[in-house]
């Protein structure tokens, strides 16, 4: 489990909301101060009014005072807890944003070798961290103030009985803590066995056709029954721990109350104590025991949170892809050079590129050609700074890309990838994606120049056609054209087309090739393809 010191790592996220945070803390303190006199007043009512003078007037006054204190505490408690609910939402969403920002900035060699579910779970853990500000946890910290004020009041009434209760408090604390730890361990075992059972269920459902064909029903049901037995065993153990947890606390509380009653009774019989003061002590004792139990069991809530914070910071402390890159590409990209570049995706894989050297100059329309697996797509990823060479250099205008700010590289390179990903939104939204300085008129003007108006009008609502998820609602060819228009609209120094005609229909292929043939490119055009038919506009071919 995570260390409690990990909670301090939340400080940067809380910092901007300090005013709200401290308003909540002050509210908690006021709630405790307001509630502290109530048990004493109740004791006074019993001794002075109910047993003593039996005055209706005084009785009504005391009841009215208690009612006012309760109302004040109610109002302040709601306001205080609202502050923490607000902090919870603000901090959790701040963390989500920070984590997502970090994930986007992480190097691709990490992201490509890490399960997406793992990264997603780190983002999801932000919600569990918000439990620190939950009403339950806030209530425990509020009870600390209640307990401190209760102890002070008890000592002012009768220090001997107060000492007895203080002696009982650690016993109550350790009994609660031990029981809670046993319950947490049994719960963890139960969840583990349930997870194994779920895995077994998934395997059966996933492979049910083969189970039928291979007559594996008996074998799988036998394993499933065995897993069920483990779940039943761990579940009973968890229930037993829960019963012990509850009953241990109840027993200590009962015997503690009995001991206080015994001592108070003797003192009352001797005339050294009153029934009203005993009542007050009992109520104050309840506050102390409640606080003690809360502190003993708070670890069951906070330790998983601390573990989540620890895992989250493992991600946040990683170097991002732009680490150590401070140079800017101030001018247009005039030339690109690969100088003896070696690359492999991870230590255990073979080299994709070996001592690759090439150069491309402004004004060239270059075809990078090669068989599948030769490293054509890898060259694109290296050009975009998604990966870095294992050896050698990639230079833009004779500047090593290893020191150039990645953002300044990507601001000058546009790509139409082989596998188009379209974002949720309209066709227009996807064309304008990442181009804040462009608008609808710019898109419509470019479509007219490319003579694609008729093609775009085939979409159900033209540029306003909704794309639900990825390419849902559009064909592969239409997605390619959308990405192609987006690339041309950007007017960047370098345009890269990755297999632009390999997986499209004949109409889309003809549209793309005609535009590439007739359109002037002021910068560099790089086409990656193993098809050369219709590529007459290419003025240089690089064989990989």
Has residue 113 been placed in a domain? yes
pLDDT of residue 312: 86
Q: Are residues 201 and 62 both part of a single domain?
A: no
Residue 283 maps to a domain: no
Looking at residue 472, its pLDDT comes to 61
Backbone torsions φ then ψ of 439, nearest 5 degrees: -140, -175
Q: Are residues 153 and 178 in the same domain?
A: no
pLDDT of 295 reads: 82
CATH of the domain at 456: 3.40.50.300
CA–CA gap between residue 80 and residue 23 (Å, rounded): 7
Q: Is residue 62 part of a domain?
A: yes
Please check whether residues 143 and 182 belong to one and the same domain: no
Residues 92 and 172 reside in one and the same domain: no
Backbone angles phi, psi at 197, to 5 degrees: -60, -40
How far, in Å, are 274, 323, 462 from residue 58 at the CA level? Answer: 19, 74, 81
Residue 396, classed as helix, strand or coil, is: strand
Helices and strands: H and E segment counts in the chain: 19, 11
Q: Are residues 27 and 38 in the same domain?
A: yes
The number of folded domains in the chain is 3
Residues 32 and 129 reside in one and the same domain: yes
Q: Indicate if 512 and 429 belong to the same structural domain.
A: yes
pLDDT at 76: 92
215 and 268 together in one domain: yes
Give the predicted TM-score (pTM) of the model: 0.70
Question: 455: helix, coil or strand?
Answer: helix
Q: Exposure pattern of 113-141 as b/e (b: 16+ CB <10 Å)?
A: eeeeeebeebbebbebbbbbbbeebbebb
**What is the rounded CA–CA span in Å between residue 102 and residue 121?**
14
pLDDT of residue 340: 94
Q: What distance separates the 2 farthest-apart alpha carbons in the chain?
A: 113
Sign of the torsion formed by the C-alpha atoms of 216, 217, 218 and 220? positive
Q: How far is CA 383 from the centre of its chain?
A: 31
Residue 60: CATH number of its domain: 1.20.1560.10
Nearest alpha-carbon partner for 362 in 391, 329, 397: 397
Asked if residue 508 and residue 487 are part of one domain, the reply reads yes
pLDDT score, position 199: 75
End residue of a domain, out of 256, 286, 320: 320
Distance from C-alpha of 432 to C-alpha of 407, rounded to nearest angstrom: 18
Do residues 128 and 165 both lie within one domain? no
Q: Does residue 153 sit in the same domain as residue 168?
A: no
Distance CA(341)–CA(357), nearest Å, equals 7
295 domain-assigned: no
Does 174 fall in a domain?
Answer: yes
171 and 153 co-located in one domain: no
Cα–Cα distance for residue pair 107/321, rounded to 1 Å: 4
Q: For residues 304 and 372, is the Cβ–Cβ distance under 8 A?
A: no
Per the structure, the complete domain to which residue 243 belongs is given by 159-272
Last residue of a domain, one of 286, 320, 354: 320
Distance CA 361, CA 377 (A): 20
Question: Which residues does 14 contact at the CB level (< 8 Å), separation at least 6?
Answer: 21, 87, 91
| C-alpha 19 chain-centroid distance | 25
Residue 360: per-residue pLDDT: 93
Determine the pLDDT at residue 337. 94
pLDDT along the chain (544 residues), means of 10: 76 88 88 90 89 86 94 92 89 90 88 78 81 79 85 88 87 80 77 76 80 81 86 85 81 85 89 89 87 80 80 87 85 92 86 90 89 85 91 93 90 86 87 88 90 88 81 75 88 88 77 82 86 82 86
Measured between alpha carbons, how far is 46 from 540 in angstroms, rounded to an integer? 101
Question: Has residue 55 been placed in a domain?
Answer: yes
336 beta partners: 360, 396
Closest CA to 329 of 411, 267, 434: 411
Which positions ≥6 away from 101 have C-beta within 8 Å?
A: none
What CA–CA distance (Å, rounded) separates 171 from 469?
59
What residues have CB less than 8 Å from 454, skipping those under 6 apart?
A: none
């Amino acid at each position: 489990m995570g260390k409690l010191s990990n909670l301090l790592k939340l400080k940067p996220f809380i910092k901007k909301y300090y005013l709200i945070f401290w308003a909540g803390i002050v509210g908690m303190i006021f709630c405790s101060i307001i509630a502290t006199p109530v048990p004493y007043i109740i004791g006074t009512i019993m001794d002075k009014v109910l047993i003593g003078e039996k005055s209706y007037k005084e009785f009504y006054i005391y009841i009215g005072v208690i009612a006012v204190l309760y109302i004040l505490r109610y109002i302040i408690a709601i306001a205080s807890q609202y502050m923490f609910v607000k902090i919870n939402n603000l901090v959790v969403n701040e963390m989500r944003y920070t984590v997502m920002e970090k994930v986007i900035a992480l190097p691709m060699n990490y992201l490509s070798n890490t399960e997406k579910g793992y990264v997603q779970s780190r983002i999801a853990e932000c919600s569990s961290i918000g439990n620190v500000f939950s009403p339950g946890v806030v209530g425990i910290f509020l009870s600390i103030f209640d307990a401190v004020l209760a102890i002070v009041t008890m000592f002012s009434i009768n220090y001997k009985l107060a000492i007895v209760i203080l002696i009982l408090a650690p016993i109550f604390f350790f009994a609660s803590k031990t029981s809670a730890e046993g319950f947490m361990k049994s719960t963890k075992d139960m969840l583990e066995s349930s997870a194994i059972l779920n895995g077994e269920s998934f395997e059966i459902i996933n492979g049910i056709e083969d189970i039928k064909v291979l007559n594996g029903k008996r074998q799988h049901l036998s394993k499933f029954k065995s897993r069920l037995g483990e779940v039943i065993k761990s579940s009973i153990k968890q229930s037993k721990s829960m019963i012990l947890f509850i009953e241990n606390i109840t027993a200590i509380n009962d015997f503690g109350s009995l001991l206080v009653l015994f001592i108070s009774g003797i003192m009352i019989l001797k005339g050294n104590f009153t029934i009203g003061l005993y009542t007050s002590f009992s109520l104050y004792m309840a506050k102390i025991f409640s606080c003690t139990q809360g502190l003993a069991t708070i670890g069951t809530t906070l330790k998983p949170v601390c573990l989540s914070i620890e895992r989250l910071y493992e991600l946040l402390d990683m170097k991002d892809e732009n680490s150590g890159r401070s140079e800017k590409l101030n001018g247009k990209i005039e030339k690109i050079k690969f100088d003896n570049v070696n690359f492999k995706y991870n230590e255990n894989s073979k080299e994709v590129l070996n001592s690759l050297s090439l150069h491309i100059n402004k004004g060239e329309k270059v075809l990078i050609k090669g068989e599948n697996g030769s490293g054509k797509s890898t060259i694109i990823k290296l050009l975009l700074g998604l990966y870095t060479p294992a050896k050698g250099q990639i230079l833009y205008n004779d500047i090593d890309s290893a020191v150039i700010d990645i953002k300044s590289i990507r601001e000058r390179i546009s790509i139409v990838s082989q596998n188009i990903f379209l974002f949720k939104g309209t066709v227009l939204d996807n064309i304008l994606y990442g181009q804040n300085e462009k608008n609808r008129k710019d898109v419509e003007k470019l479509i007219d120049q490319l003579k694609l108006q008729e093609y775009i009008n085939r979409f159900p609502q033209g540029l306003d056609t909704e794309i639900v998820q990825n390419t849902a609602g559009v064909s592969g060819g239409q997605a390619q054209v959308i990405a192609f228009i987006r690339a041309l609209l950007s007017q960047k120094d370098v345009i890269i087309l990755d297999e632009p005609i390999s997986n499209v229909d004949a109409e889309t292929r003809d549209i793309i090739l005609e535009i590439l043939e007739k359109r002037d490119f002021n910068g560099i055009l790089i086409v990656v393809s193993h098809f050369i038919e219709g590529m007459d506009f290419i003025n240089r071919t690089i064989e990989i």
